[in-house]
Structure 1
Amino acid sequence: MQSHQWPASSLIKASAAPSKTSKAQTDKLPADVKVTETQEPNSRVRLNVEVPAAVGEDCYRRVVKEFMKQVKIPGFRPGKIPESILLNYVGEESVQKATVESILKRTLPHAMSTVEGRALRDSVRIITKFSDMEKRYSSQTSLSYDVIVDVIPEVKWINGYKNLKIVVEIDNEIEAERACEREIKRRHKSIGSLKVVTDRGLQVGDLVVLDISATTIDQDESNVQNIPAAESKGFHFDTEDGESVLPGFLDAIIGIQRGETKSFPLAFPESWQQENLRGVQAQFTVDCKELFYRDLPELNDSIADKLLPGCTDLNQVKESLLQRCREVEQTAREQATDNAILDQLWKMVEIDIPQSLFEEQGRELYGAKLLEIQSKMKLNEQQLASLSNPKAVNEFLENQRENITKLIKQNLAVGDIFKRENLQFSSEELVKEVQNSIAEFERHKQEYDEERVKEQVQEVLEGAKVLEWLKEHAEIQYITR
């Protein structure tokens, strides 16, 4: 199976709550409970559960019987204590509380059977106060309570997903021919030697060591400020990588000699990566510390083995590297296509996302982020605890609300297409990928839940099948940027 890089984490579907049907069947009630379902916002359902008096009476009798077995009252054998004496001994409030608990324990599975297969895991909440139920309880009358539960949200397609039109932007840097030429040039440069320039200024092809500083340009000199992000000491600049620096920077320093200082104005473009610098007019000061040129061997068949061990001529070097670059280009094109499709899908659906699903997805993303930080920085227990506290998690959920919502929509859209189109994957694929995932956890000595691993693998396999189907049926246009 070809692997796909999902955004941030593997696809997470809504998970149905564990079935309570079997328990409900074994614990039969003397009368049926009445369940009234009311739809609420955010894919939430309110269940009003009305418990008949016969059920309350049966629960009361069971509780009294259990108390009789456990309570020891002088002069009475266990199980033979008169009810009035028992109630006086343990207290009517204790019996009433235990009866209400019994009613909830026995009737809730029956109530939940009405949303079986739709209820989300760990989202069930009894919202009627227990104290209110105690006050209202009487073995002679019915008792009701309300339950709130999140359900799997409905996926509503705005214009459908068939005949999808996708525009995929491809970075020209991955184009195989260009990438191959750059790689040969890089390898050629790596086997050359650097020599100090003594008799001229900087030319394209040289390598220069610079000290760089910059300030803002303002008519009011009192408002001029340093730009720390543009400062660098001992900056090694390969002039053949001129596209990697601020536009106009290379042209401004051409001709500079070792020990010379140049000052010149430049503007940061609106497309600059750092938002706070976009459009800023800056005055740069550059000190040339060292200046080198490359002494390169002639690019011919004699250095083929140095460029790529095992090759005897330049054509062989080029063909081998070109094949590698084509594989990289193909992988990059496929990934860019997958990303473009996923980015389009979430915009094509309307979904009323339940809070429990939002929190589940958000906490999983946050957990993945913590693992990444831990692997890079080796946090101690105190640092890890501070990043894991509820406040930090809630701040993450709020700050990433848009991204989390986008990801959930993507995942649910993918799952919906998988079902609608009756797509399938083999059990062999599932077993193989689960084994690979578990082996990866064990290799990194990380704990894992095998059932959760299986769920995640299923989600990834479903996603791969959906993307494969969509690519076959979509109109895809590739443009180079």
Structure 2
Amino acid sequence: RPRAPRAPRRARAAAQAGFGKTKEVVDEAPSLEGVKVIKTSKENCRVELDVCVPAEMHAYLFEGIMKELGRSIKIDGFRKGKAPPRSMIIGEVGEEEVRDRVVEAVLRHTIATAMGAVASDAIQDSEAIMTPKEELIEQADGEGDFKYVVTCDVNPVLEWKSEDCYKAIRVKTPTPLTEAELVEGAEADIAAKRRELGTLRVKGEGVLEQGDMAITDFQTFHKMDDGTLGDAIMAVQGKAYNIETDQANTLLPGFVEGLLGKSVGETIEYDITFPEDWGQANLRGKNATVKAKMTEIFERELPELDDDLVGRMFPGQGFTDLAGCRAALLEAKTLEAAERDELDLQGQLLDALAPMVVSGVPRTLVEQQGREQYAGRLLEMQAAGTVGPEALVQLSDPALVNNYIAGKREEITAKVKQALAVADIFEREGLTFDEARLQQECDNAEDEFRRFGQEYDPERVREQALELLQAEQVLAYLRENAVVE
């Protein structure tokens, strides 16, 4: 970008009325009070500011640029400190460079004054110069008024469908798990712990069976409309990847099913369509081809399931026999189910808020929310070990983030409305929370970012922690006043 000039305290040389023409001397910097700003409200909390910089200030800034250039360039025949004629400066530097510098000077000198018209409401970093660069350059001759348009987002004034419409929200009671389903969940926990204590050994012969573990190399490729293979999908590939055949959270749909019954060295190839809930938004609904080769098979020898094994499966939990262990796990599953049902009710309450908000939301907040959601997904994938460092860098590409926001704009907008509604209810109903909890939430979040080597903005972390605690109080209020059907 063109360098910003150092604004001189006094401009003694003559300014120009156009290039190569002389204008009256400007001795003092004109007051910023002469800058005129007309504010026009647009939809979705956007404000347009028409800025008019008076001719006197335009000339002053133009003169400052010429003086700076005159001091910085060297022209034969002019001793140091002696300003060359204006025409020679322009000829040496170039008219376009001079005008670029003038535009930069005018904007830097006046933008703060222009934004002062919305200073209390403007959303940080949402401002943008809308006047085309060509128009700015054309004006930058030091003659006449200098005009430009800047837009920014402002904090919304929340409008509800009706007063107190968020009170007495109707929610449906979730269908509870049956006793058999709870028992099945407890038994699954026991089976998982028992499997961890099992002994793996190389399966010399035979095929992959349920309960075995396989080591595989795999790649995925884009499937083109004509049926041919496209580029490899770098984010979905693995080398020496472990596959547990009796665990549901496998990497790709159909992967385990394709490997079962195969022996070491055999390959599989099949087509998939990435599901709509796939982690990478840009792959959802896309067709691909999976190629995999099984390089090793391990079979697991499980220990005898008896009272003696309980202490090893659940160390430090006080279980002494299998029956007591099963009873305790069943009780824990019952509590988990109750908590899950409560979270379901809370989700219904929050989902009901967005449609009640009829005011628009700023684009800046939508994009900010979208970036945070995308970053959160990457953090979850990294924590789960489903993506490596190289894939994480590729998935962090700004183009992918923008695609994610574009594809989920409606959903993200609803989330923003939801957050604004929560903040408004918190204030309307005079709710409070413990400040010590706010600090604890901030500390926990920052520790998590540091643990995964992620950059973060402490101010934004605090804002998110504040939103979280406000949401807790608002949910408790809405839950208390809800109509549960």
DSSP-derived class of the 1:172 partner? coil
For residues 105 and 338 of structure 1, the distance between their equivalents in structure 2, rounded to whole angstroms, comes to: 48
Instruction: Report the TM-score, using the length of structure 1 for normalisation.
Output: 0.60
For residues 126 and 85 of structure 2, the distance between their equivalents in structure 1, rounded to whole angstroms, comes to: 39
Letter in 1 for 2:339: T
Q: Give deviations 1:211-258, integer Å, cap 9, x for gaps.
A: xxxxxxxxxxxxxxxxxxxxxxxx99xxxxxxxxxxxxxxxxxxxxxx
Q: Retained in 1: the 8 A contact 2:174–2:345? A: no
- Could you tell me which runs of 5 or more consecutive residues in structure 1 were left unpaired when the two chains were aligned: 1-26, 191-208, 210-234, 237-295, 298-303
**More displaced stretch, 388-397 vs 29-38:** 388-397
Q: Retained in 1: the 8 A contact 2:433–2:473? A: yes
Question: Is 1:455 matched up with 2:470?
Answer: no
Decide whether aligned partners of structure 1 residues 328 and 87 sit closer, same or farther in structure 2, where only a CA change above 3 A counts. Answer: same
Q: Retained in 2: the 8 A contact 1:60–1:99? A: yes
Q: Retained in 1: the 8 A contact 2:127–2:152? A: yes
Give runs of aligned pairs for residues 56-455 of structure 1, distance below 5 A: 56-81=58-83, 83-84=85-86, 87=89, 90=92, 93=95, 94-159=97-162, 160-173=164-177, 324-325=332-333, 327-374=335-382, 375-379=384-388, 381=390, 383-384=391-392, 387-389=395-397, 392-455=400-463
**How far off its partner does 1:325 sit?**
4.8
DSSP-derived class of the 2:342 partner? helix
Q: Retained in 2: the 8 A contact 1:358–1:408? A: yes
Q: Which residue of 2 aligns with 1:37?
A: 39
Q: Decide which structure has the larger Cα Rg and report it.
A: 1
For residues 162 and 63 of structure 1, the distance between their equivalents in structure 2, rounded to whole angstroms, comes to: 58
Decide whether aligned partners of structure 1 residues 28 and 439 sit closer, same or farther in structure 2, where only a CA change above 3 A counts. Answer: farther
Instruction: Report the TM-score, using the length of structure 2 for normalisation.
Output: 0.60
Decide whether aligned partners of structure 1 residues 185 and 434 sit closer, same or farther in structure 2, where only a CA change above 3 A counts. Answer: closer
Q: Retained in 2: the 8 A contact 1:158–1:348? A: yes
Decide whether aligned partners of structure 1 residues 39 and 185 sit closer, same or farther in structure 2, where only a CA change above 3 A counts. Answer: closer
Question: Is 1:477 matched up with 2:484?
Answer: yes
Letter in 2 for 1:397: I
Q: Give deviations 1:400-428, integer Å, cap 9, x for gaps.
A: 23322222221221122233334333332
- Could you tell me which runs of 5 or more consecutive residues in structure 2 were left unpaired when the two chains were aligned: 1-28, 193-209, 211-244, 247-304
Q: Retained in 2: the 8 A contact 1:168–1:336? A: no
**How far off its partner does 1:461 sit?**
1.6
Letter in 1 for 2:155: I
For residues 50 and 460 of structure 2, the distance between their equivalents in structure 1, rounded to whole angstroms, comes to: 32
For residues 435 and 59 of structure 2, the distance between their equivalents in structure 1, rounded to whole angstroms, comes to: 50
Letter in 2 for 1:73: I
For residues 83 and 188 of structure 1, the distance between their equivalents in structure 2, rounded to whole angstroms, comes to: 89
**How far off its partner does 1:357 sit?**
2.8
Instruction: Say what the alpha-carbon RMSD is for the aligned residues.
Output: 4.3
**How far off its partner does 1:158 sit?**
0.7
Q: Give deviations 1:277-313, integer Å, cap 9, x for gaps.
A: xxxxxxxxxxxxxxxxxxx99xxxxxx9999986799
For residues 443 and 32 of structure 2, the distance between their equivalents in structure 1, rounded to whole angstroms, comes to: 48
For residues 63 and 307 of structure 1, the distance between their equivalents in structure 2, rounded to whole angstroms, comes to: 77
- Bigger RCO (CA 8 Å, 6+ sep): 1
Q: Give deviations 1:165-215, integer Å, cap 9, x for gaps.
A: 231332311x7x77776678889999xxxxxxxxxxxxxxxxxx9xxxxxx
Q: Retained in 2: the 8 A contact 1:307–1:317? A: no
Q: Give deviations 1:43-79, integer Å, cap 9, x for gaps.
A: 2221100111121122123222322332233454544
Letter in 2 for 1:450: P
Q: Retained in 1: the 8 A contact 2:311–2:320? A: yes
**How far off its partner does 1:96 sit?**
3.5
Q: Which residue of 2 aligns with 1:291?
A: none
Q: Which residue of 2 aligns with 1:6?
A: none
Question: Is 1:46 matched up with 2:53?
Answer: no
For residues 34 and 318 of structure 2, the distance between their equivalents in structure 1, rounded to whole angstroms, comes to: 81
**How far off its partner does 1:345 sit?**
0.6
Of all paired residues, the percent bearing the same amino acid is 33
For residues 156 and 187 of structure 1, the distance between their equivalents in structure 2, rounded to whole angstroms, comes to: 48
For residues 189 and 77 of structure 1, the distance between their equivalents in structure 2, rounded to whole angstroms, comes to: 90
How many aligned residue pairs are there? 348
DSSP-derived class of the 1:156 partner? coil
Letter in 2 for 1:59: L
For residues 187 and 360 of structure 1, the distance between their equivalents in structure 2, rounded to whole angstroms, comes to: 39
Decide whether aligned partners of structure 1 residues 77 and 424 sit closer, same or farther in structure 2, where only a CA change above 3 A counts. Answer: farther
DSSP-derived class of the 2:385 partner? helix
Decide whether aligned partners of structure 1 residues 147 and 183 sit closer, same or farther in structure 2, where only a CA change above 3 A counts. Answer: closer
For residues 348 and 47 of structure 2, the distance between their equivalents in structure 1, rounded to whole angstroms, comes to: 34
Letter in 1 for 2:358: E
**How far off its partner does 1:342 sit?**
0.4
Q: Retained in 1: the 8 A contact 2:160–2:357? A: yes
DSSP-derived class of the 2:431 partner? coil
For residues 388 and 320 of structure 2, the distance between their equivalents in structure 1, rounded to whole angstroms, comes to: 50
